Amino acid sequence: MNAKHWIVMGLICAMALPAMAAEKEGVALTVYNGGYGVVREVRSLNIPGDGNVKFKDVASRIDATTVHFKSLTDAAAKLLEQNYQYDLVSANKLLKKYIDRKINVICEKQTYSGTLLSFDGGQLVLQDKEGGIIMVQRPDNVRDIRFGALPGGLLTRPTLLWKVATRKPGGHLCEVTYQTAGLGWHAEYVLVLDGGDKAADLSGWVSVNNTSGKTYTDAKLKFIAGDVRRVRPEQRGGRRERTFGKGRGMAKPMAEKAFFEYHMYTLPRPSTVADNETKQLEMFTPARGLKVDKKYLYNPMGQQRWYGGRRYTDGSFGVTSYKKVHVFIEFQNSKENKLGTPLPAGKIRVYKQDPEDKALEFIGEERIDHTPKDEKLSLKIGNAFDVVGERKQKGYQTRPHWIKETIEIKIRNHKKEDITVRVKESLYRCKNWQITAESHPEQRAGKDGKLDARTVAWDIPVKADKETVLTYTVEYTW
């Protein structure tokens, strides 16, 4: 081989070394909203000549049909066969394996030795060396049972058994990827209002839950936000008790980026997610001084509306005594409003500081859906104590193919400041309607005075310690 060939070979090796060095042992975890995750583990394995490999310590709630194996040492290596064994050691499983074998049973007053013939929750049946039968009562009697060795077929940890074909037996660096149930995450937010309810600070946290049956030590963590379609496998096992741990104090917030039709949040440092743990991680740098609006809504009809089909001609239909006025906090998720980041679905808890002792007091919460940037969030956080609504039917007339109805709505403001209350009315009797008279036409809200084809609203100003009365008449035809 001449000098030119040696130079070319050296360049190829030099280029290959960084790629080989890029992979090292470790675990990465991508968690989805739907209660599952993808585990990617790089591990050193010894693959003998017969190709039989035990890959131990996988999640006990693994979906074994999703396993993907790749040798980073031998690209031609392939997985020929796989078995998932989860018949883990337990007292009864050990006893079952020791039927017709010798055991020692230590009781309160003596020790019994013999061949185990059978067992249940109440007793053990042994045969001693002379052939006699001994029935040992288990409850409050047996202190210890001693076995000779762990019988074959029982494992201490969930294990994948593989048959691997490779022309390079020996040490391999392998990448194994699989899905597991028992992993999930959701967002948690805290919104703190200022004294005048005009501005707020917003912080966000990721809460990751792990009941997958495995601890992920120093894992690279990613979280996918979005509605990922998945055909769910049958899940084994039940729920487990959780502990609560917090992963606060990180130097950098999570990196966020669009990923396919979803959004991905990546933790910039490794973190350990223990089995049976709920862990909190800061999602983004808190946004300070968001502009917010406090809104009042009186919606006495709720979700009642005309959905097609029969017409509601009963005069008493839709009459309500509902008096609660809802309180909303609204803000724009925009860069101009010091935010402008995609917000995953989760719960927003709202607090406000008591000016006397500076303590933060809880004033309500709301659950939001996945919210892109530049969209408005409207949080219903409770009902106003000092604002009351009242709705009455003041007139009702009907004749063939025609209904005329007059509604009176009173808003009473017992607060010390003026407010504006949105009054929302569903025109529910039939498809064709027209408002023929109203007391506050200038306060009509929405495009062309409608929120949609079945709903109208008015933004009604109400003075402090005063009452404002809204009336309207609507005619239905068909």
Residue 308's pLDDT is what?
72
d(CA 136, CA 148): 19
Say which amino acid occupies 203.
S
Cα distance from N-terminal residue to C-terminal residue, the chain? 96
Residue 88's pLDDT is what?
59
pTM reported for the whole predicted model: 0.75
Q: In this structure, are residues 87 and 93 in contact, taking their beta carbons and an 8 Å threshold?
A: yes
Low-confidence stretches of the chain (pLDDT beneath 70):
1-22, 87-89, 150-156, 232-252
Say which amino acid occupies 468.
T
Residue 7's pLDDT is what?
40
| Paired tokens of 406 | 């007059």
Residue 154's pLDDT is what?
62
Residue 25's pLDDT is what?
95
**SS3 track for 414-478:** CCCCCEEEEEEEECCCCCEEEEEEECCHHHECCECCECECCEEEEEEEECCCEEEEEEEEEEEEC
Q: In this structure, are residues 467 and 413 in contact, taking their beta carbons and an 8 Å threshold?
A: yes
| Paired tokens of 258 | 């669009």
Residue 230's pLDDT is what?
75
Q: What does the chain come to in residues?
A: 478
Residue 449's pLDDT is what?
87
d(CA 420, CA 298): 11
Q: For 130-176, what is each residue's pLDDT tens digit?
A: 999 999 999 888 988 988 776 665 666 789 999 999 999 999 999 99
d(CA 247, CA 221): 12
Residue 153's pLDDT is what?
57
